Amino acid sequence: MPALQPVRGTRDILPEEMLRHRHVEQTAFEIAARYGFAEISTPILEFTEVFSRTLGDTSDIVTKEMYAFEDRSGDSITLRPECTAGVARAVLSNGLAQHLPLKFFCRGPMFRYERPQKGRQRQFHQVDVEVLGVAQPMADVEIIALGAHILEALGVSEKITLELNTLGDGESRDAYRKILVEYLAEHRDRLSDDSLTRLERNPLRIFDSKDEGDRAVVAGAPLLTDSLNGASREFFDALCEGLQAAGIAYRLNPHLVRGLDYYCHTAFEFTTEALGAQGAVLAGGRYDGLMEQMGGPPTPATGWAAGVERLAMLIEDPAPTVRPIAVVPVGDGPHHGAFGVAQRLRRAGFAVEMGFSGNLAKRMKRANKINARATVLLGEDELARDAATVRDMDTGEQSDVPLASLETHLARYR
RNA sequence: GUGGCUGUAGCUCAGUUGGUUAGAGCACCAGAUUGUGGAUCUGGGGGUCGGGGGUUCAAUUCCCCUCAGCCACCCCA
């Protein structure tokens, strides 16, 4: 354990930053609720197979990014790298496949063993929505609309564009893979080393490459959209029409692919230029095959996840929290009486901070520092006649208020 | 995992061609002001110069290793 440092890629979220996180999560949660999403929480730990079976043996997450370890009983356990597999598992574990369709909202920490960068930590947080049991593209339209709605509510829409693509169904993708591999093999000599291994494992991801040689090759490559079968074409058209009808602007990006094996049809990413290389802020797609892969019944599903840290970096400072009322005993005598008053006000719904150390000037300083809206001063003489001196901290005005009407008097400062 | 940049007080940063007790601003604490905050003035605390090793009479400064952050790749939220 070297020094007093947090583990690499993890960090403490101090109150100021926590407010931003909270704002992102609460906004997402509240708007998702309006769309009928119910919050669930699944364990941070899952058996490793939950992820390795579903994300694909060739995905980066499984091959190099999983926080996996053996527990005391010898089981292989993994800190969840994403939400979807856990939610799907929960649906099967709880027999919820009987109750489709389901709409879930989920939030919490995720873990990926990556090299940290700004906007990319080993422990990070996501908010996540999943729709299970709906095969129609309207489900995709709805979750994309929800995503756009949340980003708008967070005030970050102008910095973000929606990119959209289709991966087609299995048949379309198999057909395309053949054509693509043939084409790429012809240009093998111009591909980067990275892309040569991609060619073996997951040729679609060559489209992601930033290598110039790769890009040149990819520019002339056949497109998946040209290999779509009728059903896939129809699905994608319906999705695009649905988005247009909903007034959601998007940019078709035929090169947009997904790193995880379970995706099909819809693939989308809300991205920003403002965060450097970590531009994806909310992304997802359709995963019709996942539940079956996990051993459950074939179940169509679609969903997305959004990065809380990334969004927290984009938003303006959230509205300031309520300004408290400071209760200040004068001298050391009235502490108990003052505390009684503070408790009364707290029960009445006021945010109350009490200062009782140092001389009066010190206590006032403290009241000022916590940005108190008003200070309730309680000295021996005030308490003796059941009254308080209330000071408006903005105007400096003071008034003598009977304790009986304190709540009424302070109501203006809520 | 690969390549590069950076690391001095809580924060932002000075500093040293290697040389006594490493500085500033902000923040913090105390006093001026023991029944009144915000301004001002005065004083104070706080540093293993990221960590370890090496070279040297002497290292914050030069060299090596290591840790962390940042940038790009990889990948993704």
Tens digits of residue pLDDT in A2-53: 457 889 999 999 888 899 999 999 999 999 999 999 999 999 999 999 998 8
Query: pLDDT digit string (tens) for A98-146?
Result: 999 999 999 999 999 999 998 899 999 999 999 999 999 999 999 999 9
- Rounded mean pLDDT of A86-103? 95
Provide the pLDDT confidence category of residue A313 given band limits of 50, 70 and 90. Answer: very high
* % of chain A with per-residue pLDDT over 70: 98
H/E run at residue A111: strand A102-111
Provide the pLDDT confidence category of residue A188 given band limits of 50, 70 and 90. Answer: confident
Q: Is the CB of A280 under 7 A from strand B?
A: yes
Q: Is the CB of A279 under 7 A from strand B?
A: yes
- Rounded mean pLDDT of A297-318? 93
For strand B, list residues 314-353 of chain A whose Cβ lies within 7 Å of it.
330-331
One-letter amino acid of A352: V
Say if strands A251-252 and A38-39 run parallel, antiparallel, or are unpaired: unpaired
One-letter amino acid of A227: S
Phi and psi, residue A294, nearest 5°: -85, -5
Question: Nearest CA to A147 among A137, A134, A136, A160?
Answer: A160
Residue A161 DSSP SS3: strand
Has residue A168 got a pLDDT over 80? yes
Average pLDDT score, chain A: 90
Query: pLDDT digit string (tens) for A255-276?
Result: 888 767 778 999 999 999 888 8
Q: What is the CA radius of gyration of chain A?
A: 28
For strand B, list residues 240-269 of chain A whose Cβ lies within 7 Å of it.
257-260, 269
Query: pLDDT digit string (tens) for A195-217?
Result: 888 887 778 888 878 888 888 88
- Rounded mean pLDDT of A47-60? 80
pLDDT for the residue numbered A213: 82
Has residue A57 got a pLDDT over 70? no
Q: What torsion, rounded to 10 degrees, do the Cα atoms A168, A170, A174, A177 define?
A: 40
pLDDT for the residue numbered A10: 93
pLDDT for the residue numbered A324: 93
Q: Is the CB of A123 under 7 A from strand B?
A: no
pLDDT for the residue numbered A58: 66
CA distances from A18 to A11, A12, A296 (A): 12, 10, 38
* % of chain A with per-residue pLDDT over 90: 64
- Rounded mean pLDDT of A294-304? 94
Q: Which nucleotides on strand B sit less than 7 A from a protein beta carbon? A: 1-3, 28, 30-31, 33-38, 48, 50-51, 66-77
- CA torsion sign, A21 to A27 to A28 to A30? positive
The dihedral region occupied by A44, where left means phi > 0, alpha psi between -120 and 50, and beta the remainder, is alpha
Smallest CA–C1' separation from A284, nucleotide: B77
CA distances from A313 to A304, A307, A343 (A): 19, 10, 37
pTM (whole model) above 0.95: no
d(CA A75, CA A54): 18
Strand-pairing partners, residue A46, are A78
What ipTM was reported for this prediction? 0.87
Provide the pLDDT confidence category of residue A1 given band limits of 50, 70 and 90. Answer: very low
Query: pLDDT digit string (tens) for A371-406?
Result: 999 999 999 989 999 999 999 999 999 999 999 999
